[in-house]
């Protein structure tokens, strides 16, 4: 018997290593992509904070980025402050780049991948505790293969790190309640505080912590009351950070629109976008819906409590931040852990059902085939996310980087989207119009790939640095004589 247990342990370790290896390899797809793929705007903004750290030194309390316009906050931002998530990840990226001189984009994406592997392992061990090893394996496999998860595990965004910090916090708090060892509590507290600093939305997972308490009947022990009370201190760093950034209003993006600015909350369009366009179509490629009803079979009490609380927290998040969730699919990253858990449990129950009807081998082959087909189908909706849609920005940006001073302030019009501005490796304005006001605000050069009427008018007024069929660069400090 001990020998059999030893063999099973070795098999589990080998399975985990293979899962992590598979997830890692899949996430290397287009690793060197500049932040010009899906959600380039948000990725470019995040990457530019790291790049400013590399250029000017790391200052955690005064993060800056490339956009000096008033688009984000409604105020001109001449210092380029970027006051959103606490920039610990940006600082880490910059520190690695400064010490190794590796490419910033590749370092950023690799760190995101490593964080996603931490999420995979956290989910595996948490689900193993709650639902058993088989469900933990299927959960980890879903997380490894789901195209949405693959893309958002290698983006230059806070999301991969937020998910790792959040899931690791849940895992360690579960271990604290189970083993009553305070080292796990401290790990959970630190991780939850970090997750909140990266994305305050993590607060909606508080219901899962409460569900753990009911599972372990923690309310009967005084020290667990103290542990839960102490966990609220995870919000202190977030509160302190939010208080600090109020000094820099020009660097705080407007966020009121996230709630319900377009009145979409709980309307038919809200249900359609979140549960059909995103869950059924984007995440599951239609076919994966098969697994969801099976996840409800033979649920144990603790599964009802924990997974039910988790889904309830996600639904509350969808309702509160209705417009943000509808407009941007990366907001659904918070749903990813409980979704793959649900899929993992559904796969296990479907496999058990087929085993009873047929045989174990056929059951495993059948569910594996369905899992594969689901991910192939979902890939059709996600594969375009990896594409670079504006190669001309790279060409023009390279020219700017070669021809203009390193500290030049540029106008790189893209209707407020900052991906073109990022490609120039310069600070400035991501939108045209009111050029004279931007010149007064410090703009020195104008670069465009569109050759629209604005560009034609400016070309008549200012000295041309370089013009090709792809781009036009103008020196706004050298007007042409009439």
pLDDT of 347: 98
pLDDT of 137: 97
**Co-location of 413 and 356 in the same domain:** no
- Segment 169-181 shows an average pLDDT of 96
> For the CA atoms of 196, 200, 202, 205, what is the dihedral angle to 10 degrees?
110
Instruction: Round to whole Å and give the CA distance between 315 and 377.
Output: 25
The answer to whether 92 and 111 have CB atoms below 8 angstroms apart is yes
**Co-location of 445 and 349 in the same domain:** no
- Segment 95-103 shows an average pLDDT of 97
Q: 457 is written with which tokens? A: 């008018």
**Co-location of 16 and 108 in the same domain:** yes
**Co-location of 176 and 287 in the same domain:** yes
**Co-location of 399 and 328 in the same domain:** no
pLDDT of 309: 98
- Segment 336-358 shows an average pLDDT of 96
3-state secondary structure of 46: helix
**Co-location of 120 and 161 in the same domain:** yes
pLDDT of 4: 55
pLDDT of 357: 87
**Co-location of 466 and 326 in the same domain:** no
- Segment 456-469 shows an average pLDDT of 96
Q: Show the domain range for 294.
A: 2-386
The answer to whether 341 and 134 have CB atoms below 8 angstroms apart is no
The answer to whether 66 and 104 have CB atoms below 8 angstroms apart is no
pLDDT of 134: 96
**Co-location of 25 and 83 in the same domain:** yes
The answer to whether 15 and 368 have CB atoms below 8 angstroms apart is no
Residue 198's Cβ-side half-sphere holds a number of Cα atoms within 13 Å equal to: 24
Non-local (6+) Cβ contacts of 111 within 8 A are 89, 92, 93, 96, 161
pLDDT of 46: 98
3-state secondary structure of 475: strand
The answer to whether 156 and 140 have CB atoms below 8 angstroms apart is no
- Segment 309-321 shows an average pLDDT of 98
- The predicted-structure confidence for 27-74, as pLDDT tens digits, reads as follows 999 999 999 999 999 999 999 999 999 999 999 999 999 999 999 999
- Nearest CA among 399, 389, 439 for reference residue 423: 399
Q: What's this model's pTM, rounded to 2 decimal places? A: 0.96
- The predicted-structure confidence for 349-359, as pLDDT tens digits, reads as follows 999 999 998 88
pLDDT of 9: 67
Q: Is the pLDDT of residue 222 over 70?
A: yes
Give the residue from 335, 351, 386 where a domain finishes.
Answer: 386
Neighbour count for residue 24 (Cβ, 10 Å): 17
Q: State the total domains in the chain.
A: 2
Give the residue from 364, 386, 408 where a domain finishes.
Answer: 386
**Co-location of 286 and 427 in the same domain:** no
The answer to whether 462 and 478 have CB atoms below 8 angstroms apart is yes
H or E element at residue 428: strand 427-429
Q: What percent of the chain has pLDDT over 70?
A: 98
- Segment 338-355 shows an average pLDDT of 97
List of E strands, 363-421: 409-411
Q: How confident is the model at residue 462 (pLDDT cuts 50, 70, 90)?
A: very high
Residue 210's Cβ-side half-sphere holds a number of Cα atoms within 13 Å equal to: 11
- Segment 449-463 shows an average pLDDT of 96
Give the residue from 341, 360, 386 where a domain finishes.
Answer: 386
- ∠ at Cα 341 (336, 343), nearest 5°? 95
- Segment 256-261 shows an average pLDDT of 95
3-state secondary structure of 431: coil
Q: Is the pLDDT of residue 233 over 90?
A: yes
H or E element at residue 99: helix 88-100
The mean of the pLDDT values for the chain is: 96
**Co-location of 338 and 276 in the same domain:** yes
pLDDT of 244: 98
- Segment 170-188 shows an average pLDDT of 97
- The predicted-structure confidence for 136-151, as pLDDT tens digits, reads as follows 999 999 999 999 999 9
Q: How confident is the model at residue 223 (pLDDT cuts 50, 70, 90)?
A: confident
**Co-location of 190 and 70 in the same domain:** yes
Q: Is the pLDDT of residue 161 over 80?
A: yes
Q: Is the pLDDT of residue 402 over 80?
A: yes
pLDDT of 221: 83
3-state secondary structure of 327: helix
Q: How confident is the model at residue 8 (pLDDT cuts 50, 70, 90)?
A: low
**Co-location of 30 and 57 in the same domain:** yes
């Amino acid at each position: 018997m001990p020998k059999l247990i030893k063999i099973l342990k070795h098999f589990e370790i080998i399975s985990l290593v293979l899962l992590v290896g598979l997830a890692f390899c899949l996430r290397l797809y287009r690793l060197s992509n500049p932040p010009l793929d899906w959600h380039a705007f948000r990725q470019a903004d995040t990457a530019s904070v790291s790049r400013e750290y590399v250029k000017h030194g790391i200052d955690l309390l005064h993060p800056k980025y490339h956009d000096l316009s008033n688009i984000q906050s409604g105020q001109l931002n001449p210092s380029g402050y970027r006051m959103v998530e606490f920039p610990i990840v940006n600082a880490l990226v910059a520190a690695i780049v400064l010490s190794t001189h590796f490419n910033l984009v590749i370092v950023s994406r690799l760190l995101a991948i490593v964080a996603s592997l931490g999420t995979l392992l956290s989910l595996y061990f948490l689900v193993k505790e709650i639902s058993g090893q088989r469900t933990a394996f299927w959960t980890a496999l879903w997380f490894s293969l789901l195209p949405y998860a693959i893309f958002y595990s290698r983006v230059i965004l806070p999301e991969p790190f937020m998910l790792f910090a959040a899931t690791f916090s849940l895992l360690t708090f579960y271990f604290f309640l189970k083993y009553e060892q305070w080292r796990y509590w401290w790990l959970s507290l630190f991780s939850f505080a970090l997750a909140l600093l990266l994305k305050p939305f993590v607060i909606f997972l508080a219901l899962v912590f409460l569900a753990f308490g009911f599972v372990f009947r923690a309310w009967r022990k005084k020290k667990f009351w103290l542990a839960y009370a102490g966990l609220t201190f995870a919000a202190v760093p977030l509160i302190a950070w939010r208080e600090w950034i109020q000094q820099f209003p020009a660097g705080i993006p407007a966020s009121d629109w996230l709630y319900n600015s377009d009145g979409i909350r709980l309307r038919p369009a809200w249900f359609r976008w979140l549960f059909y366009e995103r869950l059924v179509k984007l995440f599951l490629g239609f076919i994966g819906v098969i697994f969801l009803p099976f996840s409800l079979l033979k649920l144990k009490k603790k599964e009802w409590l924990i997974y039910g609380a988790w889904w309830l927290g996600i639904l509350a998040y969808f309702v509160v931040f209705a417009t943000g969730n509808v407009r941007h699919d990366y907001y659904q990253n918070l749903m990813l852990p409980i979704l793959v858990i649900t899929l993992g449990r559904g796969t296990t129950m479907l496999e058990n059902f087929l085993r009873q009807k047929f045989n174990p081998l056929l059951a495993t082959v059948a569910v594996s085939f369905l899992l594969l087909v689901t991910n192939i189908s979902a890939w059709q909706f996600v594969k375009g996310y990896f594409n670079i849609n504006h190669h001309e920005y790279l060409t023009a940006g390279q020219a700017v980087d070669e021809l203009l001073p390193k500290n030049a302030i540029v106008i790189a019009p893209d209707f407020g989207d900052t991906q073109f501005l990022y490609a120039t490796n310069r600070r400035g304005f991501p939108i045209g119009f009111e050029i004279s006001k931007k010149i007064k605000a410090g703009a020195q050069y104008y670069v465009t790939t569109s050759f629209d009427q604005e560009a034609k008018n400016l070309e008549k007024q200012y000295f041309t640095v370089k013009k090709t069929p792809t781009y036009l660069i103008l020196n706004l400090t050298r007007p042409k004589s009439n």
